[in-house]
Structure 1
Amino acid sequence: MTQNPKLAELSEAGVSVWLDDLSREMIASGALQDEIDGHSVVGVTTNPAIFQASIAKSDVYDEQIATLAGTGADVDATLTAITTDDVRSACDVFEQVFADSDGVDGRVSIEVDPRLAHDTDGTVAQAIELHRLVDRPNVLIKIPATKAGLPAITRTLAAGVSVNVTLIFSVERYGEVIDAFLDGLDAALENGHDIAQLVSVASFFVSRVDTEVDNRLEAIGTPEALALRGKAGLANARLAYAAYQEVFDLGVRFPALKSHGARPQRPLWASTGVKNPDYPDTLYVSELVAPDTVNTIPGKTLEAFADHGWVNTESIIGRAEESREVFEALTRIGVNLPEVFEVLESEGVAKFEVAWNELLTTTAEQLESAQG
């Protein structure tokens, strides 16, 4: 199968294309392999909402659920078995990508229970357990960048487990995530782990920033405010990339870890499906192009990019000052950015908790049906 030229160009520009979707049907039908072969996809991310949609809308899980019901498995054990089986199978699909990229890509992410977002010890315990259950070197464990999540990131890395840090909204919190990552590498090295085998990405959410800020700008309603719509998300991501360069390209702490084989924690652009129909539907892919980044792209957005996306190689690098000016303008107009980021983090955790609870309900109903 020939690679789509637009996605191949994106990949050649240094962006790792990860699909923000997974289901057992995709794996079994070969559709996931087709994404690798035709759309330059080199990784997959999952979250509670993705699993909820997959299990609720398909009967491919019925046989496994019936088997688990027969063993007396409860809903949590059933859900863990289903999700880790899917992630393990997806890891196997990406085994060659993982090998060819020397472990940089070919990664599949699975999230800790979002109800643990404010429980450091619980997050660490489940992260290590999920890593053990999936039992594949290319799995990434997703941990939210809450205050309780920061020490969990360090402790999970210290145990030799690779981490996808999720739900990052502000550059300030991103700095704390980087510190947690570096602390984790230091501890992992001290614990005797080969830190060359540890990989981490920092998932910076994009479209949700625009949604929240745009709502506030529209409430202000002045021409100056309305002119700033659709600018906050990209500016925030560009500032995040500048922070990444400052630490991993120019910083004084990382080189010592790099001498032991450590890899940088790459920025990952998440929430890149466009929610405002007034914006181009590939905006958060086309305008977030820089080396050593990842973009997790929903299926619909991936198809749109393959059809009519563009690659702007000048979309990030060298635009930090311009992005700071956007933030200064937002502040002057009356947008409280620290409050925006606080709201987005709280809502992000809450949304994943809702999806998780819906997933538990769906699984419980199927278990009850299988038990007769």
Structure 2
Amino acid sequence: MRGGTLRRLISEGVSPWLNGFHRGFLQSRRLAALTAQDGVRGAAAQPALLAAALSVDTAYHPQLDRLARDGVGVGEALRALQVQDVRRACDDLGRTYEASGRHEGHVSMDLDPRLAHDVDATVAEAASLVVAVARPNALVKIPATPEGLTAIRDCVGRGIGVHATEVYTAGRYREVVEAYCGGLEIARGAGRSLHAIASLASAPVHRIDTECDARLAELGTSAARGLRGETALALARLMYQEYDEQLGSTRWRRLAAAGARPQRLLWTVDGPHTADQAGYAARLVGWHTALALPLRALLAADRWETPRGDSLSGRQRDARRVLDEFERTGLRFEAVAGRLAAHGEKRSVRSWEALRGTVGTQLRLRAGR
């Protein structure tokens, strides 16, 4: 493994994930190599990366030619492209999935974000996509909007694995846990195997720090400068406390006795590679968590700061101190989190619409040949 850093991270209970992939990357067996040689244990699809790749990655051309020749519409073509990529990624992680007792090796895939406030449409889309992919290690992404929480519960109740996204506060994470447990109870009542249901809840830590640091920089005070780079870590520590408390609850013990597995916390880092992205590998260390990084950050693992043990457990007092000091500057973390959630939703819709536009353009180019 790269400099032993990923090995150390895994030994601390943190699973490295790849955040984003495309067809050429998969066909060159690079994900398989990252899995076998570097210990990558999961992958998340990214619509923006797919949109960029469609214009330059020749690996998509044969399928696009077939879709254009058959007169397939944009929505159906997008689904076909997405399904083929996710299947390949699931297959590349299949050995990890089986060797880990189906605890690792998952691939999360996107639903149409325009459905985020429609529970029935989200659940129907999730069920349809899972059937199309037909891989047991595939998860559907559902944003943790108020309607999304209900959709998470209903999907889990149907036995569909869920990656809950856009979690910006410990309170919202608590609601995600509630939705997951509620779904497990529905599944148990329907006679489903709880052991087969996997779930993650993710917080976009790099986005949180970027937004909070920008607000602190605008204040320009020494107190504000002292808090830069601390808010995402504080949030992660509070979320990890919620995770611990969930595992000790009577409700969870009953579900675990029926075969349920804990919902894993996933810290996500996205956007263009920057030098500070890999720093989260040393700062966010806790048992049974995962960290999703862009490819370039993973490939730089030999230059990472070495993880130095659990940084999340028993640090809730420090976390509350950071958020209290953040509030004393005059900023309101809940308000910043609300803006981040709103921006995240708009960003997802824009990315999806751009992806649809790119698919449409590619189909028209090929139909006209």
Q: Do 1:39 and 1:306's aligned partners in 2 also have CA atoms closer than 8 Å?
A: no
Amino acid of the residue matched to residue 286 of structure 2? A
Give the deviation of 1:341 after TM superposition.
0.8
Is 1:284 the equivalent of 2:283?
no
CA distance in 2 between counterparts of 1:263 and 1:56 reads: 40
Is 1:320 the equivalent of 2:319?
no
Change (3 A) 1:273 1:353: closer
Amino acid of the residue matched to residue 315 of structure 2? R
Give the deviation of 1:37 after TM superposition.
2.1
1:185 match: 184
CA distance in 1 between counterparts of 2:308 and 2:116 reads: 36
Is 1:356 the equivalent of 2:355?
no
Q: How many residues align?
A: 368
Residue-by-residue CA offset, 1:218-239 (whole Å, 9 max, x unaligned): 1211111111111101111111
Residue-by-residue CA offset, 1:118-170 (whole Å, 9 max, x unaligned): 11111111011110000010101111101110000000011111111111111
Q: Where in structure 1 do 4 or more consecutive aligned residues deviate above 3 Å?
A: 272-277
RMSD over aligned CA atoms reads: 1.5
Residue-by-residue CA offset, 1:185-212 (whole Å, 9 max, x unaligned): 0001111210110000111111111111
Give the deviation of 1:317 after TM superposition.
1.4
CA distance in 2 between counterparts of 1:69 and 1:210 reads: 43
CA distance in 1 between counterparts of 2:274 and 2:69 reads: 46
Residue-by-residue CA offset, 1:172-196 (whole Å, 9 max, x unaligned): 1000000000000000111121011
Give the deviation of 1:276 after TM superposition.
7.1
Give the deviation of 1:59 after TM superposition.
1.9
1:264 match: 262
Q: Do 1:160 and 1:198's aligned partners in 2 also have CA atoms closer than 8 Å?
A: yes
Moved more, 53-62 or 211-220: 53-62
Describe the SS at the equivalent of 2:192.
Answer: coil
Change (3 A) 1:276 1:231: farther
CA distance in 1 between counterparts of 2:239 and 2:94 reads: 30
CA distance in 2 between counterparts of 1:95 and 1:309 reads: 30
1:311 match: 307
CA distance in 2 between counterparts of 1:195 and 1:38 reads: 31
Amino acid of the residue matched to residue 326 of structure 1? V
CA distance in 1 between counterparts of 2:83 and 2:273 reads: 30
1:50 match: 49
CA distance in 1 between counterparts of 2:291 and 2:341 reads: 20
Change (3 A) 1:275 1:338: farther
Q: Do 1:112 and 1:126's aligned partners in 2 also have CA atoms closer than 8 Å?
A: yes
Describe the SS at the equivalent of 1:228.
Answer: coil
Q: Do 2:19 and 2:270's aligned partners in 1 also have CA atoms closer than 8 Å?
A: no
Residue-by-residue CA offset, 1:17-62 (whole Å, 9 max, x unaligned): 1111211112111111111122210111112222222223312111
CA distance in 2 between counterparts of 1:61 and 1:40 reads: 27
Give the deviation of 1:273 after TM superposition.
6.7
Q: Could you tell me the percent identity over the aligned residues?
A: 36
Q: Do 1:205 and 1:270's aligned partners in 2 also have CA atoms closer than 8 Å?
A: yes
CA distance in 1 between counterparts of 2:143 and 2:307 reads: 30
Amino acid of the residue matched to residue 343 of structure 2? E
Alignment of 1:1-372 (within 5 A): 4-248=3-247, 250-271=248-269, 280-372=276-368
Unaligned runs of 5+ in 2: none
CA distance in 2 between counterparts of 1:104 and 1:86 reads: 21
Q: Do 1:21 and 1:44's aligned partners in 2 also have CA atoms closer than 8 Å?
A: yes
Q: Do 1:19 and 1:41's aligned partners in 2 also have CA atoms closer than 8 Å?
A: yes
Describe the SS at the equivalent of 2:314.
Answer: coil
Q: Do 1:17 and 1:296's aligned partners in 2 also have CA atoms closer than 8 Å?
A: yes
Describe the SS at the equivalent of 1:253.
Answer: helix
Residue-by-residue CA offset, 1:233-278 (whole Å, 9 max, x unaligned): 1111111111111111x2221000001110000111112679876x
CA distance in 2 between counterparts of 1:269 and 1:301 reads: 14
CA distance in 2 between counterparts of 1:127 and 1:273 reads: 25
TM-score (norm 1): 0.96
Q: Do 2:273 and 2:297's aligned partners in 1 also have CA atoms closer than 8 Å?
A: no
